[in-house]
């Protein structure tokens, strides 16, 4: 089986990997559920490559993400549910249907008008799905469409943004900052009581409030924490390298020595 630039070859390779007897034992034992975490992970790898502006790496990561789609489609085909061409047909149909200003009447729309049109079309799609099922679409709450599987901070922002559409929101970021201070005080009370359940709840409230602050100042909290993670890794690596240069290891260093090297890393970043 040779590599190729043709998508059909990727589908053939996936089929070969899933062929009982001659395929890969690991691939053969996978299910939708076991593959799902890898799908999420690969999406993050794509985001990371974009953040680093590493276009060669992005090529690889997009390939890994595409593999996840092909993998899920192959499992579905084996179960008689659908196949990869059905996935392609579904998304192309949806794109054409949701862009009548491009593929239909050709009327020029502003970005705001496109968003409004998109909402109307999605609502009609829900109505048609309900009709196909032989019933009326059950009324759902405002927040029901926010996917539960989203990362916590991302979902928090989406929940807050949905609630804000009906006026349930602060109109000043400083009010959110006051809420954060309130949540910190409540955590301190739970910590004083040494109540693990209460501390867990208060930390959740604090993170939710911080996500809300990020939303109010147009900062993606997931992007922000990824950037901070990268910064932490850089500075900690500086500590390790500095100690290696001294012929020492992390186990040999005191906390005050590591703090001093941390501050040195910060100064080097600023210079």
> Fold match between 7-95 and 152-219?
yes
Tell me, what's the pLDDT at 112?
82
Q: What pLDDT score does 212 carry? A: 97
Q: What is the 3-state secondary structure (H, E, C) of 176-214?
A: HHHHHHHHHHHHHHHHHCCCHHHHHHHHHHHHHHHHHHH
Assess whether pLDDT exceeds 90 at residue 138: no
- pLDDT of residue 135 exceeding 70, the answer is no
Q: Which CATH superfamily is domain 7-95 in?
A: MazG-like (1.10.287.1080)
Backbone dihedral angles phi then psi of residue 151, each to the nearest 5 degrees: -55, 150
Q: Return d(Cα 61, Cα 96) in angstroms, integer.
A: 27
pLDDT at 117: 81
Question: Looking at residues 95-111, what average pLDDT do you find?
Answer: 81
What is the C-alpha to C-alpha distance for residues 203 and 185, in angstroms, rounded to an integer? Answer: 11
Top CATH class, 152-219: mainly alpha
Report the percentage of the chain scoring pLDDT > 90: 71
Mean pLDDT of the chain: 91
pLDDT the model gives residue 136:
57
The DSSP line for 68-115 is: HHHHHHHHHHHTTS--HHHHHHHHHHHHHHH-HHHHSS-----HHHHH
The answer to whether the beta carbons of residues 65 and 55 sit under 8 Å apart is no
Asked whether residue 44 carries a pLDDT value surpassing 80, the answer given is: yes
- Better-predicted residue by pLDDT, 115 or 202: 202
How far apart (Å, rounded) are the C-alpha atoms in residues 39 and 64?
9
169-194: average pLDDT: 96
Task: Say which residue, 163 or 150, is predicted with more confidence.
Answer: 163
- As a whole number, mean pLDDT of residues 11-37 equals 96
Per the confidence metrics, is the pTM higher than 0.75?
no
- Secondary structure of residue 5 in the 3-state scheme: coil
Q: Which of 121-125, 153-157, 158-162, 192-196 has the lowest mean pLDDT?
A: 121-125
DSSP letter assigned to residue 156: H
**Looking at residue 106, what is its pLDDT?**
66
Cβ–Cβ under 8 Å, residues 97 and 124: no
Residue spans per domain, the chain: 7-95, 100-132, 152-219, 223-270
122 has pLDDT over 70? yes
| Residue 128 in tokens | 């048609």
């Amino acid at each position: 089986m040779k590599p190729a630039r043709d998508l059909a070859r990727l589908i053939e390779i996936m089929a070969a990997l899933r062929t009982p007897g001659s395929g890969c034992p690991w691939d053969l034992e996978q299910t939708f559920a076991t593959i799902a975490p890898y799908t999420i992970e690969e999406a993050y790898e794509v985001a990371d490559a974009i953040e680093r502006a590493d276009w060669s790496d992005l090529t690889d990561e997009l390939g890994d993400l595409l593999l996840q789609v092909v993998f899920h489609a192959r499992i579905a085909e084996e179960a008689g549910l659908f196949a990869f061409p059905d996935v392609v047909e579904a998304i192309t149909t949806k794109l054409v249907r949701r862009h009548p200003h491009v593929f239909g009447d050709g009327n020029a729309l502003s970005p705001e008008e496109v968003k409004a049109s998109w909402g109307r079309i999605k609502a009609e799609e829900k109505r048609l799905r309900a009709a196909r099922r032989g019933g009326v679409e059950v009324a759902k709450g405002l927040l029901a469409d926010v996917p539960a599987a989203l990362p916590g901070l991302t979902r928090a922002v989406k929940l807050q943004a949905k609630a804000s559409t009906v006026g349930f929101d602060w109109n000043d970021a400083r009010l959110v900052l006051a809420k954060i201070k309130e949540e910190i005080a409540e955590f301190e009370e739970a910590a004083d009581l040494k109540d693990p359940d209460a501390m867990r709840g208060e930390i959740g409230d604090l993170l939710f409030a911080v996500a809300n602050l990020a939303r109010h100042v147009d900062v993606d909290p997931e992007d922000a924490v990824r950037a901070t993670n990268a910064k932490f890794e850089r500075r900690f690596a500086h500590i390790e390298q500095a100690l290696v240069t001294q012929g020492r290891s992390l186990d040999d260093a005191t906390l005050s020595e590591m703090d001093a090297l941390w501050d040195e890393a910060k100064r080097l970043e600023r210079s």
